[in-house]
Amino acid sequence: MPSVRILYLFLLCLTAALAAPAPWPHELGDVPPDPAIRWGRLDNGLRYAVRKNTEPAGRVYLILQVAVGAVHERDDQRGYAHFVEHMMFRGTKKYPATSIVNFLQHEGLAMGADTSAFTNFTTTFYNLDLPQNSPEKIALGLSILRDFTDSAVIAKAEVKREAKVIESERRTRDSSAAQVGESLNAFLHPGTLITRRAPIGTPESVQNATAEKLLEFYRTWYRPSRLTVIAVGDAEPDLLERLVREQFASLKPATPAEPADPDLGLRSAIPGDFQARFFPTPTVSGTTSALYSISPMEPAPDTIARRREQVAQNAGFALLGARLAELTRKQPNDIGDSQAGWTVEFGLRRQATIRLDTRADRWRMGVRLAEQELRRALLHGFTADEVKLQIESYRNAYQEAIRSESNRQSQFIAHAIRNGLEFNFVNSSPTTDWALAESTVLNLTPEQCIEAFRAIWVPANRRLAVIGHYPEPLTEAELRIAYEDSTYASFFTEKDERAITPFDYTYFGPPGVVASRRHDARADIHSLVFANGVRLNLKATDYEKNHVYLRLRLGRGMAAELPDQSGLGLIASGSYLAGGLGRYDNVEL
């Protein structure tokens, strides 16, 4: 008997070890988390994060996050993570299919507006925006999420019905843009799991899904160690924490074995040769030319050192983006939108991008400008005045985040916590963010920016993608020739220096004369009319502290259009902002 007891204790300890949840991002690094957020774990491995927030008043926002998505599916389960998400709203043990939607609506929760769910490559999450913050209503919302974790009723008849809904969703999503996106992803990351795991699945896998197969997937992956409950809203943290514990402490995994996360294939070697590909679109429009650089990286925690390093990295791309915007301003008939940026793919690959949209007959110009503006930055770097402008942009962004901190919506905060868990960054407060970045931002130099920029734009692993519509598809040889012709072009001048000058519009003449004023006591609105006929309406509010909203209304809209001027007002409204001001164009503004 002692040996049996020892074996039992060993298995118990092993099960507990396997069920250990992933650490919080702030437990891996040295960035202090937002002190307003309370982080906790239950004995079964489930994690929770709760925070009091009074915007909007009287409401609480709930999220159930499940660390399972499309990449966790087997080849014969494609689309199952998304399918299971759908099936939750077909009924659970406590809230059966005939009543769950009606029940939610009875509680004031509209599907889509207040209640929704989403599945991506690595995560499934469910949202409830509770219109009341009483303990009873919060407990009710958590009870619904609890039923999602282990009490889904996946019935044969409901599976057949929902398969038709998912197929309809696929047809709605199956746009040319989505098809190009999938093909582009396969071009940039060939042979990886993410190119074979579209969350929507395949028509065959969805049609062949059965209740038994879906239940197997559900019971395997919906387990406490992969769950996080997030509650943010107008309620005390003690209450939120107590209610989470009451609802989820008894949850147990449905299967004994802890499933392993899959190998995404992103650690595999990246071919270093230059590659180019054309992606056709069915509709006649402009053309997008994009240069990419793909480089491997090791997963790293969110640390103070990493954040300070990213200041210079992000600045380099922002500076290149500003240069591209100037190109657009100078050649508006040829160039449309432009962009420069970088992303981290699942913490394992870094992807840098420079993209220009051009007229279809100017696609070679798009390739040339992308290559040459990138090369100009890599060779000559950035100027001191450009970096000074970026420092001011950084400072304003951080300070605005601090000013608006008390006005952040509960929904925004809850999803920021969810994103932090999914992408492994710490939810720190805006005040902390600026305290950590201030010295780095204020002392940023052109040398730091170009060094960080060059580190991301590695010479190898370059990819060129051209997306557009042509009677005869562009060949890879044509794309290579356009790119190589550009690389042979030489230029010797650096970027023109941009001087920082004071804003030209500082004096508007003497103050206006008030001709009349009145006060609407019911709405507490003060209305003034100036001698020149301009009207001004003022209202003070006690929410969204440190913010002032301004709105300017001109003319009488469509009512002022003559019979032969239909649509002129619409064109004028777009041209008004695009036209800038007398001393600045819209890009400079």
Please write the tens of the pLDDT for every residue from 501-534: 778 888 888 999 999 999 999 999 999 999 999 9
d(CA 117, CA 85): 7
| Residue of 403, 37, 30 lying closest to 228 (CA atoms) | 37
Most distant CA pair in the chain, distance: 99
Distance of CA 31 to the CA centre of its chain: 21
Please answer whether residues 322 and 388 qualify as being in contact, where contact means their C-beta atoms are separated by less than 8 angstroms: no
Q: Give bridge partners of residue 86 from the DSSP assignment.
A: none
**pLDDT value at position 99?**
64
More reliable by pLDDT, 126 or 4: 126
d(CA 35, CA 426): 12
More reliable by pLDDT, 499 or 397: 397
Q: Answer yes or no: is pLDDT of 5 > 60.
A: no
Interval 92-104 mean pLDDT = 76
Q: Report which secondary-structure segment, H or E, holds 450.
A: helix 446-456
Which pLDDT band, with edges at 50, 70 and 90, does 21 fall under? low
**pLDDT value at position 498?**
54
d(CA 408, CA 52): 12
Please answer whether residues 38 and 49 qualify as being in contact, where contact means their C-beta atoms are separated by less than 8 angstroms: yes
pTM: 0.86
Question: 3-class DSSP state for residue 305?
Answer: helix
Highest mean pLDDT among 243-247, 266-270, 383-387: 243-247
Please answer whether residues 24 and 32 qualify as being in contact, where contact means their C-beta atoms are separated by less than 8 angstroms: no
Interval 436-442 mean pLDDT = 97
Percentage with pLDDT > 70 across the chain: 93
Stretch among 63-72, 162-171, 423-432, 544-553 having the lowest mean pLDDT:
544-553
d(CA 136, CA 141): 9
Which pLDDT band, with edges at 50, 70 and 90, does 582 fall under? confident
d(CA 400, CA 136): 37
Question: 3-class DSSP state for residue 517?
Answer: strand
Which pLDDT band, with edges at 50, 70 and 90, does 291 fall under? very high
d(CA 238, CA 236): 5
Which pLDDT band, with edges at 50, 70 and 90, does 104 fall under? confident
481 secondary structure, DSSP code: H
User: Residue 198 contacts by C-beta under 8 Å, 6 or more apart in sequence?
Assistant: 70, 78, 79, 182
Q: Answer yes or no: is pLDDT of 302 > 60.
A: yes
Q: Answer yes or no: is pLDDT of 82 > 80.
A: yes
**pLDDT value at position 395?**
96
174 secondary structure, DSSP code: -
Question: 3-class DSSP state for residue 464?
Answer: strand
Q: Answer yes or no: is pLDDT of 495 > 70.
A: no
d(CA 486, CA 371): 7
Please answer whether residues 135 and 71 qualify as being in contact, where contact means their C-beta atoms are separated by less than 8 angstroms: no
pLDDT in tens, 540-569: 988 777 788 999 988 888 888 888 888 888
For tokens 């030319």, what's the residue? 289
pLDDT in tens, 180-192: 999 999 999 999 9
Name the burial class of residue 217, with classes exposed (0-12), middle (13-18) and buried (19+) by CB atoms within 10 angstroms of its CB. buried
Q: How high does pLDDT run on average in the chain?
A: 90
Please answer whether residues 45 and 19 qualify as being in contact, where contact means their C-beta atoms are separated by less than 8 angstroms: yes
pLDDT in tens, 472-485: 999 999 999 999 99
| Residue of 35, 38, 66, 65 lying closest to 235 (CA atoms) | 38
Q: Answer yes or no: is pLDDT of 113 > 90.
A: no
**pLDDT value at position 289?**
97
d(CA 30, CA 359): 48
In the Cβ-directed half-sphere of 534, how many Cα atoms lie within 13 Å? 10
**pLDDT value at position 14?**
36
| Residue of 403, 405, 415, 417 lying closest to 38 (CA atoms) | 417
Which pLDDT band, with edges at 50, 70 and 90, does 492 fall under? low
Q: DSSP letters along 489-545, please? A: ------PPP------S-----SPPPEEEEEEETTTTEEEEEETTS-EEEE---SSST
Q: Answer yes or no: is pLDDT of 114 > 70.
A: no
Which pLDDT band, with edges at 50, 70 and 90, does 209 fall under? very high
User: Residue 304 contacts by C-beta under 8 Å, 6 or more apart in sequence?
Assistant: 29, 30, 31, 436
User: Residue 183 contacts by C-beta under 8 Å, 6 or more apart in sequence?
Assistant: 279
Which pLDDT band, with edges at 50, 70 and 90, does 109 fall under? low
Percentage with pLDDT > 90 across the chain: 73
**pLDDT value at position 554?**
84
Interval 445-468 mean pLDDT = 94
Joined together, the tokens standing for residue 230 give 């997030």
Residue 120's identity, in one-letter code, is N
d(CA 131, CA 143): 16
**pLDDT value at position 34?**
97
Joined together, the tokens standing for residue 517 give 């004023």
Q: Answer yes or no: is pLDDT of 1 > 50.
A: no
**pLDDT value at position 589?**
76
